[in-house]
Amino acid sequence: MRAPVQVIGQYAIYDKIASGGMAGVHFGRQMGAVGFARTVAVKRLHPHLAEEPEFAGAMIDEARLAARIHHPNVVTTLDVVATAGEVLVVMEYVRGESLSGLLRRTAGRQVPLPIASAIVVGALYGLHAAHEATNDRGAPLEIVHRDVSPQNILVGVDGLARIIDFGVAKAAGRLQETTREGIIKGKIAYMAPEQLAADEVTRAVDVYAMGVVLWELLAGRRLFDTGAQVQLVHQVLKGPVDGPGRHAPNVTPELDALVMRALARQSTARFSTAKEMADAIRRIVPPAFPDDVGRWVEEVAGEGLARRLDQLAEIESHSDVIQVPDREGRESRIIGSAAAASLVAPEPSSVSVETRTDAKVSRRVRHGLFGAIVVVAALATTGLVWRTGRPMPPSSNGGQTPSAAPPAPDERAPDTGPSTPWLPAPAATPTGPPAPTTSASAPPPATRRRVTPKPAASIRFAQPD
């Protein structure tokens, strides 16, 4: 059984999936009442950075921005947890692999054109949704990702490519500025020339970065591949760039020209929007269906996906009761899905000892309450007789409480003293022979409604001294 690394609020945090410079991404389980549970991805700020207001603020801003983007090609942000010493961003869990991981596993082989088209088109549509996002009042947020790269494109086994990690994104109204003067955020090999030159950054830098990604998918190699950062910067700013068709014969001149347009050093020469670039790719290379993309992902990353699936199956089968201190310091319980399901609808063979014990206690409480009610009723009856001097009327239905209402005062027999029982009014004179009297020890016939009991056979309550 795999135990959680930590439990924070309603989230149980498990093994790490990936790690970056600021944060790591973990398996997580969101636990709720009556057996509700689901697997999530939890982005957790590294402990040595969680106490730094700059990094904590940047991560919270990232979550705020991502939550404003609603699109299938952007990973959904579900929640943000900020506690003392912890900052968590809770996201949907996507079974898949990063594009960088997929490219490493292809070992320099060219990605099939329809697959490459589907991945890039999906990522471009996700970026366009980010570029067009607005705030609560409908004003443009002007989000620019600024760190588009294969590491930040997640390709799921469902065949969808998703943009992730808006940690260094630029946006209007951002609380924490992520770029200090003289510091460049992002990966140099995928930065547009104006971004490296610290000029104004617009959505065009994301279009340029997607041009680099498409070039590498088509050519099966890195576009800018050099070790020294100074040489890499010079290559991006001034170096010659060949079309991908020079390294991949199946790339048509039309597709080659499309890629070179996205890589134009002048931002105004590129596609004006990410959607415009995506539409142009679709016309030249129709994208593969999602099922085909999903199969390709499983073929390329099958071993890693299977290992991660085993981890996830072990986590999701976790049915322990996790003890978590609540706000008052007392222990509360987060119940795993399997345990909670048994509490909702337990089978007779699966009822725990604790459940049986609770049932016994519950039955004893019910029996005790019933006994107390009987005693109180008896005492109340005795007190009533003591106060009025009249015993309760005899029952005409074998000792059970009569269902009919008591007779009106004018129908009652005159009060003859404390020792005289209450007698019902005599019934009308019957036309036939008189009915025989019955003793108090035998129940009256079911057909007769009223029977005048003999005084000697009635029950009397003694008058207290």
Q: Is residue 441 part of a domain?
A: no
Query: Does residue 162 sit in the same domain as residue 26?
Result: no
What secondary structure letter does DSSP report for 134?
A: B
Residue by residue, DSSP assigns 302-332 as HHHHHHHHHHHHHHHT---EEEEE-TTS-EE
Q: Is residue 296 part of a domain?
A: yes
pLDDT band at 56 (very low <50, low <70, confident <90, very high): confident
pLDDT in tens, 255-280: 999 999 999 999 999 999 999 999 99
As a whole number of angstroms, the distance between CA 107 and CA 41 comes to 28
Query: Does residue 163 sit in the same domain as residue 117?
Result: yes
pLDDT in tens, 200-234: 899 999 999 999 999 999 999 999 987 778 888 98
Q: Is residue 284 part of a domain?
A: yes
Query: What is the model's pLDDT at position 109?
Result: 80
* Two structure tokens written together for 377: 């009723």
Query: Does residue 144 sit in the same domain as residue 167?
Result: yes
Catalytic, 147? Answer yes
Q: Is residue 360 part of a domain?
A: no
Name the active-site residue from 61, 147, 165, 256: 147
Q: Is residue 369 part of a domain?
A: no
Q: Is residue 45 part of a domain?
A: yes
> Of 246, 265, 300, which residue is a domain's last?
300
Query: Does residue 114 sit in the same domain as residue 161?
Result: yes
The total number of structural domains that make up the chain: 2
Query: Does residue 39 sit in the same domain as residue 121?
Result: no
Query: Does residue 121 sit in the same domain as residue 190?
Result: yes
Strand duo 77-83 + 37-45: pairing? unpaired
CATH number at residue 28: 3.30.200.20
Run of H or E residues at 100: helix 99-106
What secondary structure letter does DSSP report for 169?
A: -
What residues contact residue 318 under an 8 Å CB cut-off, 6+ apart? 1, 2, 12, 29, 336, 338
Query: Does residue 311 sit in the same domain as residue 232?
Result: no
Query: Does residue 213 sit in the same domain as residue 241?
Result: yes
Domain that holds residue 100: 96-300
As a whole number of angstroms, the distance between CA 269 and CA 192 comes to 13
> Of 275, 300, 325, which residue is a domain's last?
300
pTM: 0.68
As a whole number of angstroms, the distance between CA 268 and CA 281 comes to 19
pLDDT band at 380 (very low <50, low <70, confident <90, very high): low
Q: Is residue 226 part of a domain?
A: yes
Run of H or E residues at 414: none
pLDDT in tens, 307-363: 999 988 888 876 454 545 555 555 444 544 444 444 443 444 333 333 344 444 455
Q: Is residue 428 part of a domain?
A: no
Query: Does residue 111 sit in the same domain as residue 55?
Result: no
Query: Does residue 116 sit in the same domain as residue 39?
Result: no
> Of 300, 315, 332, which residue is a domain's last?
300
Query: Does residue 336 sit in the same domain as residue 287?
Result: no
Cα 110 to chain centroid distance, Å, stands at 39
- For residue 154, what are the β-bridge partners? 98, 162
CATH number at residue 118: 1.10.510.10
For 356-359, the CB contacts below 8 A with 24+ separation are none
Query: What is the model's pLDDT at position 444?
Result: 52
**Which residue is listed with tokens 């997607």?**
210
What does the mean pLDDT of the chain come to? Answer: 76
Interval 169-174 mean pLDDT: 69
Query: Does residue 125 sit in the same domain as residue 269?
Result: yes
Q: Quick one: which of 334, 343, 307 has its CA closest to 29? A: 334
